[in-house]
Chain A
């Protein structure tokens, strides 16, 4: 009996509490930088595409919403001929971002991508590609290691040792 009255009284006191509501279109909720929202393709610090069209994101995607076709430019650098994400299927799990070896594909804290026409949710490469580096600055896959793509010479990468001359005895 007493606990019932206490419950009613405590509920009544909530009249003087602040409402938790965020009045959305006028007042936006804070989204953490690592919030998994819209997917973008980023560029490196030289404004070249980071994506090397390795297909790992498409393989990791549990709902198969990513499709892309790899091709090469005249210098032999791989890039995606087309890169298509069907956001009507995407579940924003972030597996593609985890799978990406070059930090090219990233999820950003933007969720406002509503459309009236379902077909408009299919984003092509020109919609996905941004002219910035996204969350990981000053990272260039070709500067770290790997093949010479005109970005660095052999053994001149940031994390790379000089090549060892196996025919010499000098340490």
Chain B
């Protein structure tokens, strides 16, 4: 019974944060651009979330006649499903988790790889040149960035001696992994931005060149799924960064562990939005070059040095 409550709680929490991020992002972006943002609907403009949701639900959900219908319908669901599944492994507190998996990080990496299918299938089923280009870019970008996203986490895994996220959090009682694993953190963060295809790495949907990339043809709640999936992805990557490098729910005891995790998560969500506010989009080849020629060697080097030091200390 308690377990079901936690499952429902995590689901509701993730979806609420994802919906709330519509408002958070618009308000924060506007602050950084010297504007005010949506502040009319309800207190502080919070009703904007509700208004946007109602709008999305009541929009015409149109499937283009040239689309591959079953795949077209399936694709947005895969994205949300894979990301929501990954929320299961995040420990929100000492005994507040859905799934205490001993292969937690592998589960996350596997699910994030499956998430690519959503975009590739969505772009393919749209039967549209821009969507296809967006999907191709997305798959290449994801393949590139997933390689060292995994590698950058291996330093953490070696230090905690476990793939289990609960154990990793416990292992940070002596000090957060951000200090010994700073390079790992930087590489994982950049890979995380690319993984959620947020600006500056939103090349799959680059609206200046590709209309809206892989979701050009989507409307109504199917587009809403991609939309929510993106915000869920931001929340997930932020929560994972907090868990893996910043001690997760660890913190001084005047606040409950859950609140500590939320504070850290929202800090990184803020950074995600700050990146969007400040950085321009790189060219596609620059993105790939940066990935293969800078971040991959950096991740491997980090792995090598961490391993050497750990063996030396043993």
Specify whether A and B are partners.
yes
A28 at the interface (CB under 8 A from B): no
| Structural contact, B31 and A14, CB atoms closer than 8 A | yes
B5 within 8 A of A: no
User: Does A8 belong to the interface (CB within 8 Å)?
Assistant: yes
What residues on A are CB-neighbors of B278 within 8 Å? 7-8, 10-12
The answer for the CA separation of A21 and B279 in the assembled complex, in Å, is 23
What chain B residues lie within 8 Å of A20 (beta carbons)? 34-35
**Nearest Cβ in chain B — how far from A6, in angstroms?**
10
**Cβ of B57 under 8 Å from chain A:** no
Chain A residues near B274: list those with CB within 8 A: 8, 11-12
Q: How many A-B residue pairs have CB under 8 A?
A: 33
Whether the Cβ atoms of A19 and B32 lie closer than 8 Å is: no
Q: At the interface, is chain B mostly helix, strand, loop or mixed?
A: helix
Q: Tell me if A4 and B35 are in contact (CB < 8 A).
A: no
Q: Which residues of B contact A19 (CB under 8 A)?
A: 30-31, 34-36
The A128-145 residues at the B interface (CB cut-off 8 A) are: none
B275 within 8 A of A: yes
Is residue B133 within 8 Å, beta carbon to beta carbon, of the partner chain?
no
Map CB proximity to A onto B277-293 as digits: 1 under 8 Å, 0 otherwise: 11100000000000000
Count of residues in B whose CB is under 8 Å from the partner chain: 12
The verdict on B102 contacting chain A, using a C-beta distance below 8 Å, is no
Question: B36 — which chain A residues lie within 8 A by C-beta?
Answer: 19, 21, 23
Q: Is B33 an interface residue (CB 8 A)?
A: yes
The distance in angstroms between the C-alpha atoms of A18 and B31, with both chains bound, is: 9
Chain B contacts with A in 25-79, Cβ cutoff 8 A = 30-36
Bound Cα distance from A56 to B95, whole angstroms: 84
Q: List, in ascending order, chain B residues with CB within 8 A of A12's CB.
A: 32, 274, 278
Task: List residues of A (1-58) whose CB comes within 8 Å of B's CBs.
Answer: 4, 7-8, 10-12, 14-15, 17-21, 23
Contact, CB under 8 Å: A8 / B279: yes
Instruction: List, in ascending order, chain B residues with CB within 8 A of A23's CB.
Output: 36
The answer for the CA separation of A10 and B274 in the assembled complex, in Å, is 10
A-B interface, 4 closest residue pairs, ranked by CB to CB distance from nearest: A11-B278, A21-B36, A8-B278, A14-B32
Binding site for A on B (CB under 8 A): 30-36, 274-275, 277-279
The 11 listed contacts between A and B (C-beta, < 8 Å) are A8-B274, A8-B278, A11-B274, A11-B278, A12-B32, A14-B32, A15-B31, A19-B30, A19-B36, A20-B34, A20-B35
